Structures are given as structure tokens and as C-alpha cells.
Amino acid sequence: MKNWVRLGAYPIVFGFTAFAQLLLLQANVSLWPYAMAIASTGLVMVALLERAFPYELSWNRDHADTLPDIFHAIFSLGFIFTSIEIVQVASAYLPVATVWPLAWPLWVQVIAAGLIIDFGLWFMHWLSHRNNFLWNLHALHHSAQRLYWLNGERRHPLSAILLAGPGTFLAIVLGAPAEVVGCWYSIIAVHLAFQHANLDYTVGPLKNILGVAEVHRWHHKKEYEDAQVNFGEFWMIWDQIFGTFHHTTMRVEPGDVGMRENMPTTYWKQIIWPFQRTS
């Protein structure tokens, strides 16, 4: 059973939820509330699987982080599940071009929008490790002392907006339909849970092009110098192109992740922490 989960968890759970989201889009069914229900099912499956087949048993225990992470997830997932409405409003105020390939199959359009959004995320993620102000906001994501499914949404609200903003903005001005952008974000919600999951799974050689847990754990190394790798959210092709990809067969241990600096353990203190920091 363990081997089946190890090899099949990602392709089955993520593959099913992604396919279901694309079917919704193709059927021209309102993504609300069905897209949220599909993604939520995938999130619950990841949460249950990591309890039964953990990568690291100690990471299944609360580290005084579950409650604040729930609050972070409310904002982050709220942003994801209202992305259609956000794009629709933004499109009314932005100069939208007519170059988007509307004649392409919808699933190809979703991948095209995903590539644009994902590169924007990669670049802003990379920049957040090099700009002091952006790092102060992004550090919350790295402060987790364990990796589990809810870490994917452990982001400062301003950091989440700044990370997603440029790529989403570019997709909008190129004319990507709101439903296409919303579909991509609904798909990525489950992937982010897998990316941070405390689940012993693998995608084999696909780890070289997909930002899954076995490569993303290296990005959460406690030593800041060691964490400057694997910035990709979904695709690892940007890290491959720009020389920031890293993976070895060594195991990332519990004491290896987190941050040198202590982060407050309550939600509101975490929100104001970046503005109280001077360096």
C-alpha cells in the first residue's frame, strides 16, 4: 500500500482534481462553488494521506503553527477562489490586448496562462530572496519549522499579492479570459498542498520539471544560503533555465527547515512582524 501511495498519490489526486477543473471550464459551468469544492476535496485528500504516510512523523504534530496557518490559508485560498472576479474587475480598468489565442482549446489556454503566471511567480519569488523589503514579507513562509500541506498557504497577504500580481497582470493585459486564469489558480491550489506536504511520495524523473515536495524541501533549508534554490511554484523549468535548480538523494531532516530568526506564533503578530523588522 505504501508503495502505491508513494508512486500514485500525486498523479491520482492532483491529476483527478486538475482534470475535473478543466471539465468544468469546458462545460462552461460556473466555477463557483464547484471549483472550490473540487480543490477542497484534493486538499483534504493530501491532508489525510500525510497523516497515514508521513515523510517525517514529527511533522504531523502541531508546532504552535496550525491555528495561524488556518488564518493564512483563509486569505490565500480566498484569493485563489475569487481570482475570476478579481480578473474580471481588473480587466475593466486595464488596457487589454486582443492577442490572446481564443481559438486554442481551453486546456491549452489554461496551460499558456499557467506558464505566464508561473514565470511571474518564479521571478517575484527569486526577487523576494534578494530585496530586503520583499524578504521581510516573504520570510513568514520560510519560518515554518515543519513542512505539511497547509504550509503552501502560509504567506503574508502582501507577499501573496506581490508574488502573484505581475504574472496575473500580464495574463490579463494579454487578454486571457477570467475563467481560464481562475481555472489555473484552482488547479494550483492542490499542487501547493502537495509541494509542501509531509507525505512520502515521488514523481520520479518528473521532479526535474515539477515543483513537488522532494525538490521544494531544499528551498526551505534553515540556512539562508542553502535556500536559494528551487523557486518554482509549479514548473521547475525556470530554475533549470536560470541555474537555480537543486536536488540530491540526501534526506531533508526536521532540524534542517525553518529560519534562523524566531517568528511570532500568533497570526496578527506575524502580520505586523515585517514592519517591525529593521534588517
Residue 218 falls within a domain, yes or no?
yes
Residue 279 falls within a domain, yes or no?
no
Residue 118 falls within a domain, yes or no?
yes
User: Burial, 93: exposed, middle or buried (Cβ in 10 Å; 0-12, 13-18, 19+)?
Assistant: exposed
- Cβ distance 163 to 262 under 8 Å? no
Who has greater pLDDT, 5 or 1? 5
Q: What's the pLDDT at 240?
A: 98
* Residue 153, domain extent: 2-274
| Confidence category of residue 278, pLDDT binned at 50, 70, 90 | low
Q: What's the pLDDT at 266?
A: 96
Residue 170 falls within a domain, yes or no?
yes
Q: What's the pLDDT at 128?
A: 97
CA distance 20 to 162: 29
> pLDDT for 219-258, tens place per residue?
999 988 889 999 999 999 999 999 999 999 899 999 999 9
- Cβ distance 188 to 233 under 8 Å? yes
**Bridge-partner residues for 199, per DSSP?**
54
> pLDDT for 33-67, tens place per residue?
999 999 999 999 999 999 999 999 999 999 999 99
Residue 161 falls within a domain, yes or no?
yes
Residue 21 falls within a domain, yes or no?
yes
CA distance 143 to 151: 10
Residue 181 gets which letter from DSSP?
H
Report the candidate in 38, 12, 63 with the shortest Cα–Cα distance to residue 257.
63
Q: Within a 10 A sphere around the Cβ of 97, how many other Cβ atoms?
A: 10
Residue 243 identity (one-letter amino acid): G
- CA-CA-CA-CA torsion sign (45, 46, 48, 53): positive
> pLDDT for 161-187, tens place per residue?
999 999 999 999 999 999 999 999 999
CA distance 106 to 275: 42
Phi first, then psi, for residue 156 (nearest 5°) are -65, 135
Q: What's the pLDDT at 279?
A: 52
What domain count does the chain have? 1
> pLDDT for 65-100, tens place per residue?
999 999 999 999 998 999 999 999 999 999 999 999
Residue 239 falls within a domain, yes or no?
yes
Residue 194 falls within a domain, yes or no?
yes
Report the candidate in 203, 107, 140, 50 with the shortest Cα–Cα distance to residue 216.
203
> pLDDT for 96-150, tens place per residue?
999 999 999 999 999 999 999 999 999 999 999 999 999 999 999 999 999 999 9
> pLDDT for 184-216, tens place per residue?
999 999 999 999 999 999 999 999 999 999 999
